[in-house]
A and B are shown apart, each in its own frame.
Chain A
């Protein structure tokens, strides 16, 4: 423990140098953590907009549906299927959907439509159309003959809430599908594609329209914790017959989202690496000065019988103390910053907001409080420090007391 006392006191011997080194670590950790928190926050928004409020974390389809998205590849709803899904403790909600394409016609205009049969109750946990209503009212029962349509769709069709909408398409096994529905309201999604083409109707109405009773294209699952995705998917694959059902995670459902997040994260990490390399050289300089200017002292210590290991431990401890205090303070400062911007997200306006909306994102940027954003920085500093601790260990093991004291 003697070497800890020595290390601590040595730190304050050259107070200014120690403080400068420490401040550089504080600034690096603070910048890196805040930047990472901002990035991860953005990804969380991206994931939430697509996954948490549209795709779901896991989807179950009839085997082959994802390859060939036709009604012929739909699955049959059954209590035993739901029972197996509910067995997974991490599943919070199972949201059934029946999706297809059709032609939507108003009084004198028609447009292609993405028809989505939803369970009015369950769907509130996923795309939550009730809260996205722009006008009109929400669906009440799962078999009423009314629809909600995208906020741009209603303009493109030149119709109003309360008007009728005719849908023409192809149903299960090529059967003719036509229907007449009341437009009950309009919904607004962050995704402009949806706003232009979505037509939501109660699930049974959709099954009737598409001549596909009890059939679903997908069951989307909402989990209590996004981190459980892979485990839950694996368990479901084990419990559901693989030649009847395919179980896909959101990463498989939205690979382009995963890729763009990884690419963006990569570029952030490069910036952070450059930052840490600069700080690393600062630490290196301090370490080298610390060792060089004290050679005589180490010579005396070794002469009077101090084991080389003790000297190395003392020096390593000095570096570690600087690094731990620096990264500790940096983290302590970064958490409230991230916290503030988590609660009060940065709100974009003007061009930036338009750009984000065109990508289907809401123009808000809440920072992430994900713990790895923060302890990741501490780990990086710890590794840099550990690498530099090799220098004093080598120095102490080689130091010749006679030469050290002659100089």
Chain B
């Protein structure tokens, strides 16, 4: 069974006078363990699609099914709780709570899940080690570089033991070296932990590392290509 299924998802924004068709019927299946890039030019609907998959936004028409749950059946608070337990998020920037240290940011979601403090702390430290930040655990976001912040965000996304991680242009604000490192790290976690990643990007070097590339054009899937794994 697919981890994520979208069925004829459309999204129309009516906020301005002219309706904007951000998605025009997207059918997508993501299997467990995939490392998928959603690519496409700016405005093609990548963020909208990830938001709908992540239960942050609702489709105008169509369905999103995550691990067998139709997201449209959940109330607002149920959705929040669903995200807490099933989905990891990495955003473009400013992912972290500024007043919490790296380790507290990672612990945060686990504490929300109600896990014991000791477990949260230990797990957070080991996750920060995995993303290569064992010497930064007590730093606040403002004391970390952009790349380091994104790695803490990835560690936080994994901390809740989600079914998959959504990352919307995680490298958009990073230089090419940091982008490469972040992608390497995500690919490694994908291999080692069998964590499913779906990330959007329009950076060619990032696209090259994906195992599956879904191309959106004008809110429609234009191309869906599975590549030989080149790690």
Contact = CB atoms under 8 A, between A and B. Distances in A.
Interface of A: 2, 6, 9-10, 13, 296-297, 300-308, 310, 401-402, 405
B156 interface: yes
Contacts of A296: 94
Most chain A CB within 10 A, of B85, B94, B156, is at B94
Nearest to A10: B99
Nearest to A11: B99
5 contacts: A301-B97, A306-B80, A307-B80, A308-B76, A310-B112
B170 interface: no
A304 B94 contact: no
Contacts of B113: 305
Contacts of B56: 303, 401-402
B223 to A, nearest CB: 26
Contacts of A13: 98-99
A304 B96 CA distance: 10
A304 B77 contact: no
Interface of B: 51, 54, 56-57, 76-77, 80-81, 83-85, 89, 91, 94-100, 108-109, 111-113, 156, 160
Given A2-B111, A6-B100, A401-B56, A303 B83 contact: yes
Given A2-B111, A308-B80, A405-B91, A303 B97 contact: no
Contact of A308 (B77, B91, B108): B77
A2 B97 CA distance: 13
A398 to B, nearest CB: 10
A307 B160 CA distance: 15
A232 to B, nearest CB: 57
Given A304-B109, A304-B156, A306-B80, A297 B89 contact: no
Contacts of A405: 91
A138 to B, nearest CB: 73
Contact of A300 (B51, B76, B81, B94): B94
Contacts of B77: 307-308
Contact of B81 (A9, A305, A401): A305
Nearest to A1: B111
A9 B99 contact: yes
Given A9-B99, A297-B97, A305-B113, 16 more contacts: A2-B108, A2-B111, A2-B112, A6-B100, A13-B98, A297-B94, A300-B97, A303-B54, A303-B83, A305-B80, A305-B85, A305-B109, A306-B84, A307-B112, A308-B77, A401-B56
A154 B44 CA distance: 106
A111 to B, nearest CB: 81
A301 B97 CA distance: 8
A17 to B, nearest CB: 15
Contact of A303 (B89, B96, B99, B160): B89
Most chain B CB within 10 A, of A13, A300, A303, A308, is at A303
A402 B89 CA distance: 13
Given A304-B83, A304-B84, A306-B80, A297 B98 contact: yes
A107 B124 CA distance: 104
Most chain A CB within 10 A, of B54, B80, B94, B100, is at B80
Nearest to A309: B77
A405 B94 CA distance: 10
Most chain A CB within 10 A, of B89, B98, B99, B109, is at B99
Contacts of B81: 305, 307
A405 B85 CA distance: 21
Contact of B84 (A6, A305, A401): A305
B66 to A, nearest CB: 14
B57 A402 contact: yes
Nearest to A294: B98
Contacts of A10: 99
Contacts of B51: 402
Contacts of A2: 108, 111-112
B145 to A, nearest CB: 19
A299 B115 CA distance: 23
Nearest to A9: B99
A306 B111 CA distance: 10
The 10 closest A-B pairs by CB, nearest first: A305-B84, A9-B99, A305-B83, A402-B57, A402-B56, A303-B89, A2-B111, A304-B89, A401-B56, A10-B99
